[in-house]
Amino acid sequence: MRGKLLQGLGILWMAAILTACATSADQREAEDAAAMTPQFSQIKAAPDSFKGQTLVLGGQVLSARRMKDGTRLEVLQLPLNEAQQPSLDLTTSQGRFIAIRREFLDPATVPQGTFLTITGQLTGSVTQPLDETEYTYPVLEITTFRTWIPSQDSNLPRYRPYPYYSPFWHPYWGPYGRFPYYW
C-alpha cells in the first residue's frame, strides 16, 4: 500500500516537473522570437524578406472584423517594453499591420482601443486603401496574443524613493495624513 502511494506521488511529481519545463520552453521560445524580431520600420519596408519568420509585435486594435476564413485585426504598431507590453504613447507608432486569426475569435473580445501583443508568422503584405492613399500592410498570422489593460503608471518605480519611504505618506495629504502637522 505504501509503495503504491509513493509511486503515485512520484508520478505526480514528474508531471509537475514536465509541466514546468514545457511552460518555460514556451516562454523561452516567445522570448527568443521577441529578441529576434527586427524593427517594425524594416518589416514595413520589405515584408517579403521576413516572410515565414516568427515575430512579436504589439499595438492598439483599430478595427476587428470577422471574415470567412478567420478574424482580421487592423493594429496600430507600438513599440514593446521589456515585459512585451505595448507603449501607451501613440506617437511612437511606426505604422500599421494586419493580424489574422484563422480560428474563431469573436471581434467583441478585442474591441477598438485594446492594447495587445501578438506572436505570429509573417505571411506577406497586402495593399489596401487608407483614407485617400494606398497603404501596404504587413500581414501576420496569429499564433498567440495577449491583451493588456492600459496603466498610466506602468513606467513609474514600484517603490517610494527617499524621502517618501513612510507607509503613512500620501502624495495628496503629506507624510502625516490629512493634516500638515505632526500630532
Mind listing the pLDDT tens digit for each residue in 135-148?
999 999 999 999 99
In this prediction, residue 149 has a pLDDT band, given cuts at 50, 70 and 90, of: confident
The answer, yes or no, to whether residue 157 has pLDDT greater than 50, is no
Residue 145 cell numbers, joined:
496574443
Task: Retrieve residue 11's grid coordinates.
Answer: 508520478
Task: Give residue-wise pLDDT tens across range 59-115.
Answer: 999 999 999 989 999 999 999 998 899 999 999 999 999 999 998 899 999 999 999
160's CB contacts (< 8 A; 6+ apart) are: 169
What's the gap between Cα 65 and its chain centre?
20
Q: What is the grid cell recorded at 117?
A: 501583443
Q: Do 86 and 58 meet the contact criterion of CB atoms below 8 Å apart?
A: yes
What is the percentage of the chain residues whose pLDDT exceeds 90?
Answer: 56
> H or E element: which one contains 120?
strand 115-130
Q: pLDDT over 70 for what percent of the chain?
A: 63
What class is the 38-148 domain? mainly beta
Which amino acid appears at position 90 of this protein? L
